[in-house]
Chains A and B, each alone.
Chain A
Amino acid sequence: MAEGIKDKVAIIGTGCTKFGELWNKSESDLILEAFLEALDNANIEKKDIDAAWFSSCFDEVNVGKSSLPLANALKLPFIPVSRVENFCASGTESFRAACYAVASGACDVALAIGSEKLKDIGYAGLPDFGTALGTENRLTSSNLTAPGSFAMLANSYFNKYNLTEEAGRNILAHISVKSHQNGILSPKSHLKKKITVEDVLKAPVIARPLGLFDCCGVSDGAACAIIVPADKAKDYRKDPIYVKALQISVSPGEEAGYQGWDGTYIPTTVIAAERAYREAGIKNPRKDIDLIQVHDCFSITEMVTYEDLMISERGKSREDIESGFFELDGKMPCQTDGGLKCFGHPIGASGLRMIYEIFKQLQGNADKRQINNPHIGLTHNLGGFSNTSIVSVAIFGNKL
């Protein structure tokens, strides 16, 4: 097996804008804001950056295609810049490219930055998938949306584990209540509202069985990270955060077209997690990991991810949800910043926003939401649909 990325690169600075319905900010404004915070945080200058990767997804409503919008917004001085896109996992994709570039020795200081300006489309939810799925697929693909795709995951899960719609929704409600509690403590989160299980259950149905509070917000935002070789990281700051694993798994299409998958889990998460644990040397994820930031685009996604990451036993995440295992004061806090649920999901930025939170937590800089002395954190970034997906799992540590 290849050596992997473990302890080869480190993050020395991160930036993140406030997420929300930022009607009066352009995507360039958001990019600049996140970037300036990261420069300040890393205590470097723009000229120190050797290469940059830019992640964004819906180019139709964003700054458009290519890397030019990033290079232009920041006036990056003729350095290599690339745009990457991998649906909702795009954020981790720019990070991955920057890490590999640094690990290869191709550059010393790399920037990964992601942004999305979703609220310029004029309607709720994500932009219609019209062209995102391709001109061929749209002739035959069902008229689906993201909540609908994951609602099907919920229905399959409820069916397999004999949960009535009511019982299933009740369990899921606890996930959203927990995230909202954490979101209130995050200065940069979009939704800062305390909610109850009852609020979740009474909210309008978006895609049955998922209601409004089972869905993450839709927001504008940008986030970024600056990466250097691990052995040089301490030259920049005393508390860099090291990359322990960086894995991605992409569906070959068999879940959607072959009668093998049972529809109650995300195989790409399982595979990416297995590889990441191997890369990071994690034997027992339930004990070895201190906090996780998962891709909670929908409450059901978070629930299934607990199991796919092999933290909860298959079919038994319910017990961990009910015991408070993933709450801020629980054994393994999840979505310490409020997650996609409260930050919303500016596609190209979300993966980097998760990394931003892990970075702060592992440094002990997470203010009111700081958990007790964490050493290992994990991010899980999922793109695509329940039946055809792209999953990145990254693991970080504050020690070499």
Chain B
Amino acid sequence: MPSIMIVSQEDVMRGIVSYHCYIPWYRLDRKAIYEQLGWFNKAGVALAKGEKSVANQDEDAVTMAVSSSAGCIEDGTKKNINCFYMASTSFPFTVRQNAVIASKALNLPTSIRTADFGGSTKSGTTALLTALDSTSNKTSLVCASESRIAKPGSVEEYTYGDGAASLLVGSEDVIAEFKGSYSISHDFVDYRRVSGERFSHSWEERWIREEGYEKLFLSAIEGLLKKYNIEIKNFKKIAVAYPNTRSLRKLAKTLGATEEQIQDNYLSNIGDTGAAMPLMMLAEALETAKPGDKILMISYGSGCDALYFQVTDKIENIKRGYKGVSKYLKFKNELNIYSKYLVFRNLLPIDIGIRGESVFPTSMNVLWRKEEEVLSLMGSKCKVCETPQYPKQRVCINPDCGAIDQMEDYLFSDKKGKLFSFTGDNLAFSYDPPQIYGTVDFEKGGRIPLDLTDCIIDSLTVGTPVSLSFRKKYSDIQRGYFGYFWKAIPENKKEEE
């Protein structure tokens, strides 16, 4: 009789293999909002403290997902990835899967499963649980990313922040073992947005706080503690994605948790990053965790997901200290002009001029033909003279070579280079003039003219080291399309991190 080996789920260790966060470069001092709209809503004064992270005008949930995920798989693990899940409540596309755009930018294999998780800020942990619960030993990359907009002057405009966090989930080299979870689901309508609307509607804040946050978080945590017969004091860190700092302290008190146990939610200096917040907090907890530490993670939105992890010895094997949120707190640029924030988020119908309006239609079949070239920045390398070149060529660009059809694929997106030349152009249309662009000479060969982003013109010189970032290249509002491509970012910014 043939024997079939059955591996039960309990036999396979599932958990976090790697993690990385991303917080955009810009910060908006919340006082800037109050200065402009405090006359209308004086209550805003209580919220006009600290700063919030703001995605650059060429960033959205998809591009930030790429930025955080790229850090998560920088050691070359991408070949083994079977699933890529992206969670957000601020997806740029409703139809055209957002996860697949990001997966292509990350140059993940075509033979993977991709999915968007949305609908509530709980979606980040739901995507994570989907990856963790897999009965096979699949390696999944899970990312939650948000760039949410709110009505000008609203509470949410003060509190929301932009950012992303990615977790690599698998069964090998697990740094934090998944021990279990407890989920609750409720149709608690604190926030809602029907199809076609830009902004969410909410109910009274006090009700959301008292009936929502305070009761539902507690209910999920108590459920998990009971399910696994564990006490709150056993957890080294408790990552509660609580969009309110004062209430978080109150919850800690109710639970009997110490201040050291409570993971910072970065509300004061980044903001409420929605679906990304619980993943971001877990990532930050892992930055300093020691083998054996237990971590509790709880999300919120239409209920709660509570997840329980235990850190393994393997955590000592990975480089840490730059993968969490903390490094981004230092690396930032003050936006501080409220109207600039409104323009970046398309909340102010600014006069973009006829040049700005002249967006030509995107040819989808050209995009399909060039999928790898545009989204992955895949170029070619001549097998005869080894010259990397972009875009893909059939005739070698090296004037001393000229070989025909001797090319192999060559990925540029993970390469570094130096600025060959550059300019800040006030004539070209940009939502953040001047439009800065230049030409990059790559360290291992190849030269590409590229736009630059996350920099100011005064910081650039010929020879400035740069790396690449996946960004929104143009918005075709009229035809409902965002074009994505790669841009160069000065490296010196990274050294400061």
Q: Do A and B bind?
A: yes
List the interface of chain A (C-beta within 8 A of B). 121-125, 127-128, 130-131, 135-136, 138-145, 147-148, 151-153, 155-156, 159, 204-209, 252-254, 256-260, 263, 387
Count CB-based A-B contacts (< 8 Å): 138
With both beta carbons as reference points, the residue of chain B lying nearest to A210 in the complex is identified as B423
B59 to chain A, nearest CB (A): 16
Residue B329 interfacial (CB < 8 Å): no
Instruction: Determine how close the nearest CB of chain A comes to the CB of B392; give it in whole angstroms.
Output: 11
Task: Write the nearest CB–CB distance from B179 to chain A, whole angstroms.
Answer: 46
Residues of A within 8 A of B327 (CB): none
Top-5 shortest CB links A-B:
A148-B425, A151-B423, A130-B360, A152-B421, A142-B437
Find the A residue at minimum CB distance from B367.
Answer: A139
Query: Main secondary structure on chain B at its contact with chain A?
Result: mixed
Interface pair B439/A143, CB less than 8 Å apart: no
Tell me the smallest distance from the CB of A285 to a CB of chain B, in Å. Answer: 25
Q: Could you list 19 further interchain pairs (A-B, Cβ under 8 angstroms) beyond the known A148-B435, A258-B397?
A: A128-B358, A131-B360, A136-B366, A140-B370, A140-B374, A141-B449, A142-B450, A142-B451, A143-B425, A143-B474, A153-B421, A155-B423, A156-B420, A159-B421, A208-B424, A254-B399, A256-B449, A260-B398, A387-B449
Q: Is the CB of A152 within 8 A of B374?
A: no
Instruction: Confirm or deny: B429 has a beta carbon within 8 angstroms of a beta carbon on chain A.
Output: yes
Q: Contacts of A148 on B, CB cut-off 8 Å?
A: 423, 425, 427-428, 435, 437
Q: Is the CB of B427 within 8 A of A156?
A: no
Chain B residues near A260 (CB-CB < 8 A): 398-399
- Are A143 and B451 also in contact (CB < 8 A) when A136-B366, A204-B426 are? yes
The CA of A142 and the CA of B370, in the complex, are separated in Å by: 16
Most chain B C-beta atoms within 10 Å of own C-beta, residue among A145, A148, A204, A387:
A148
**8 Å CB contact of B427 from A124, A130, A138, A159:** A124
Contacts of A124 in B (CB 8 A): 427
Interchain CA distance A234-B337 in the complex, whole Å: 71
Q: Which of A205, A209, A256, A257 has the most CB of B within 10 A?
A: A257
Within 8 A of A (CB), among B463-497: 463, 473-474, 483, 485
CB of B353 within 8 A of CB of A156, answer no
Asked whether A257 and B425 contact (CB < 8 A) given A121-B354, A136-B370, the answer is: no
| B448 adjacent to A207 (CB under 8 Å) | no
Chain B residues lying within 8 Å of A145, measured Cβ to Cβ, are 425, 427-428
Question: A156 to chain B: which residues have CB within 8 Å?
Answer: 420-421, 462
Kindly name the residue among B360, B367, B449 whose own CB sees the greatest number of chain A CB atoms within 10 A.
B449
Q: How far is the CA of A142 from the CA of B387 in the complex (A)?
A: 22
Query: Which of B366, B424, B473 meets A135, CB within 8 Å?
Result: B366
Q: How large is the interface on B (under 10, 10 to 19, 20 to 34, 35 or more residues)?
A: 35 or more
Contact of A207 among B391, B426, B449 (CB under 8 A): B426
Partner of B445, one of A253, A254, A259, A263: A259
Q: Which residues from B are CB-within-8-Å of A257?
A: 389-390, 393, 397, 446-448
* Interface pair B362/A139, CB less than 8 Å apart: yes
The distance from the CB of A191 to the nearest CB of chain B, in whole angstroms, is 18
Cα separation A127 to B354 with both chains bound (whole Å)? 10
Smallest beta-carbon distance A215→chain B, Å = 9
B→A interface (CB under 8 Å): 353-355, 358-360, 362-363, 366-367, 370, 373-374, 387, 389-391, 393, 397-399, 420-430, 434-435, 437-439, 441, 445-451, 457, 461-463, 473-474, 483, 485
Chain A residues with CB below 8 A from B485, complex form: 139-140
Residues of A within 8 A of B483 (CB): 139
Give min CB distance, A3 to chain B, whole Å: 28
Which residues of chain A are near B461, meaning CB under 8 Å? 159
Q: Which residue of B lies closest to A126 (CB)?
A: B427
Complex CA distance for A225 and B461, rounded to whole angstroms: 45
Give the distance to chain B from A53, nearest Cβ to Cβ, in Å: 29
Structural contact, B446 and A207, CB atoms closer than 8 A = no
Interchain Cβ contacts under 8 Å between A and B, 10 examples: A128-B429, A130-B358, A130-B360, A139-B362, A139-B367, A143-B437, A148-B435, A205-B424, A205-B426, A259-B441
Separation of A257 and B410 alpha carbons in the complex (Å):
14
> Are A152 and B355 in contact (CB-based, < 8 A)?
no
Q: What residue of chain A has the Cβ atom nearest to residue B484's Cβ?
A: A139
Please give, as numbers and ranges, the residues of chain A lying within 8 Å of B387 by CB-CB distance: 258
CB distance from A36 to the nearest CB of B (A): 34
Contact (Cβ within 8 A) B439 A152: yes
> B389 to chain A: which residues have CB within 8 Å?
257-258
CB pair B427 A143 closer than 8 Å: no
Task: Report chain B residues within 8 Å CB of A147.
Answer: 425, 427
Give chain A residues whose Cβ lies under 8 Å from the Cβ of B462.
155-156, 159
Contacts of A387 in B (CB 8 A): 439, 449
Inter-chain CA distance A141–B399, complex, in Å, is 22
Would B355 and A128 count as touching, CB distance under 8 A?
Answer: yes
Query: Which residue on B lies nearest to A263, using beta carbons?
Result: B421
> A340 vs B370: C-alpha distance in the bound complex, in angstroms?
38
A204 surroundings in chain B (CB, below 8 A): 426
Bound-complex Cα distance A136 to B355 (A):
20
| Residues on the B chain within 8 Å of A128, using CB | 355, 358, 429
Question: A248: shortest Cβ distance to chain B, in Å?
Answer: 19
Give B44 Cβ to nearest chain A Cβ, in Å: 36
B435 near A143 (CB under 8 angstroms)? yes
Q: Which of B363, B428, B446 has the most CB of A within 10 A?
A: B428
Q: Across the interface, do B428 and A143 meet the contact criterion of CB distance under 8 Å? A: yes
Q: Is the CB of A123 within 8 A of B353?
A: yes
For B375, the closest partner residue in chain A by CB is A139
Task: Let me know if B435 and A123 touch, CB within 8 A.
Answer: no
Please indicate the chain A residues that have their CB under 8 angstroms from the CB of B390 in the complex.
Answer: 257
Closest to A134 in B: B366
What A residues does B451 contact at CB under 8 A? 142-143
- B397 A253 Cβ-Cβ under 8 A: yes
A131 to B362 CA separation, bound complex (whole angstroms):
10
> Which of A142, A206, A207, A259 gathers the greatest number of chain B CB atoms within 10 Å?
A142
